[in-house]
Amino acid sequence: MAEIVKVEDASRYDVAQYERLFGQLPHFRMRGEELMAYIRKIVRHGTLYAVDDGGKLLGHAGFYANDMEKKAAYFSSLAVDSSLRGQGWGDRLMDRVFEDCRRVGMKDVMATVVKTNALAIEMYKRRGCRFTECEGDPSRFSIAFPMDYPRLSVVCLAYNAAPYIRQALDGFLMQKTRFPFEVLIHDDASTDGTADIIREYAERFPDIIRPVFQRENQFSKGVAASSAFLWPLIRGKYVAMCEGDDYWTDPLKLQKQADWLDSHPGSAVCFHPVTVHFEDGSRPDSVYPAQKDCPDGFTFQGLLRHNFMQTNSVVFRWKLKGREGEVPTDISPRDWFTNLIHAEKGPIGFLPDVMGVYRRHSGGVWWNASDAPDAFYLRNGLRHLAFYKAVKKRFGYDNPAAFDLAANTMAAHIRAGNADAAADVVKTYPEYVGRALGATEERDRLARELARARRRFARTAWIAAIAVAATVLMLLSAILP
């Protein structure tokens, strides 16, 4: 099995193995003893890492210091066997090399690349390298590596989270990684001092924390702060999410998930269980997801039916750079839709370690979803219906939960005396309301959905729902086939 090892002795591999790999590099001419002398130079004055499979050399990358006084070095010898191309080995080799560069304090790392080497150029661009024409050789670029360029971006939304935000920020800063990362945090005009705490941390850790502050609350204006203000700032190849009232508990969380994504280049998302904690102590802590929550396993089809990925557990191989608008702004929950985009192709990575805490408290969106359902449906019902409609349009899946949701949202508005709002549910989502009220040929199947919904509501609520059905029947007949 292939693994990355540090080469302490150049003679670990014979010259034929080095020649085979270096021979894949355009314009590389060294052979024999000249090549071995070059390898010894790298090992003696820097670092060389290899992809080793039972003694067979399948890849390597290294650096050597060319001016210790100026802390300057030259990155060299990145080559991966063709049998391993497209599996992330090049990125992993570079991570190890630059971890060593940072450890010994290198500030200026350079390299050159042949202009026709598109694969290497793309890899360097992802790391924020600066390209200039190579003096004396028009066939090459000279490359400067930014030593602090983040490989992973943490995205955090905060609003009136003063009691919790320090714990979230400390969870970010305690992360032990072999790569730089950044924290993008948005405060939506908090009124409780949250912004002051974020400023304090940003002043103490300016190289990591990049805050965005609002003077006016954007959520109340219908603005999706993440995609409008934070996603365009993302520089990392990988992206982790965590709300300002949640936090991480494992200092190796980011490294573990990045390692999994590195070793599974066909996947774009990795997650783990979290502890669900009720801040008021009304319920004991629990772990989510448990096996019972996902009887079909952690698959894309299962994710379409049920969101088993808690926001502060995911790390994405980010697919939305320059495509932020692919997540609709008028839906809820947007994090579920983002999960689906990244899980659409490739396996979903699951690490069994519990590495974070999802906090339930009175200021949270989902706090009273089960204990006070009417309040939840009045506040979120329409946006949740918009989510199901967007999922059907993008992924072709018609979630039967939308039928219950439509009836429940309509009933909640009726009980609240919002007749116009109830009519808007019918006008906007006739396909869901029609099925929930039995106005289509799927009546028998929907009867089972309604039976479950009836058990969640008082009998009087469904009498009211039936009453409104008569009121909107004419409207339905005009909308439905």
Q: Residue ranges of the domains in the chain?
A: 3-145, 152-360, 373-479
Q: How far apart are CA 249 and CA 234, in angstroms?
A: 24
At 365 the pLDDT is: 57
- Class of CATH domain 3-145: alpha beta
At 212 the pLDDT is: 96
What angle do helix axes 373-395 and 401-415 make, rounded to 10 degrees? Answer: 140
Q: How far apart are CA 285 and CA 282, in angstroms?
A: 10
At 363 the pLDDT is: 60
Strands (E), 311-424: 315-317, 349-350, 356-360
Q: Which backbone phi and psi does 431 adopt, to 5 degrees?
A: -70, -35
Extract the residue ranges of the chain whose pLDDT is less than 50.
439-450, 452-454, 456-463, 467, 470, 473-481
At 443 the pLDDT is: 43
Q: How far apart are CA 78 and CA 60, in angstroms?
A: 6
Rg (CA), the chain: 27
DSSP string for residues in 146-210 = -TT--SEEEEEEESS-TTTHHHHHHHHHT---SS-EEEEEEE---SSSHHHHHHHHHHH-TTTEE
Task: Compute the Cα dihedral for 281, 287, 289, 290 and give only its sign.
Answer: negative
| Whether the model pTM is above 0.85 | no
Two domains, one topology: 3-145 and 152-360: no
- Class of CATH domain 152-360: alpha beta
| Rama region for 457: left / alpha / beta (φ>0; ψ in -120 to 50; rest) | beta
At 421 the pLDDT is: 83
Q: Which backbone phi and psi does 46 adopt, to 5 degrees?
A: -165, -130
At 450 the pLDDT is: 45
At 56 the pLDDT is: 94
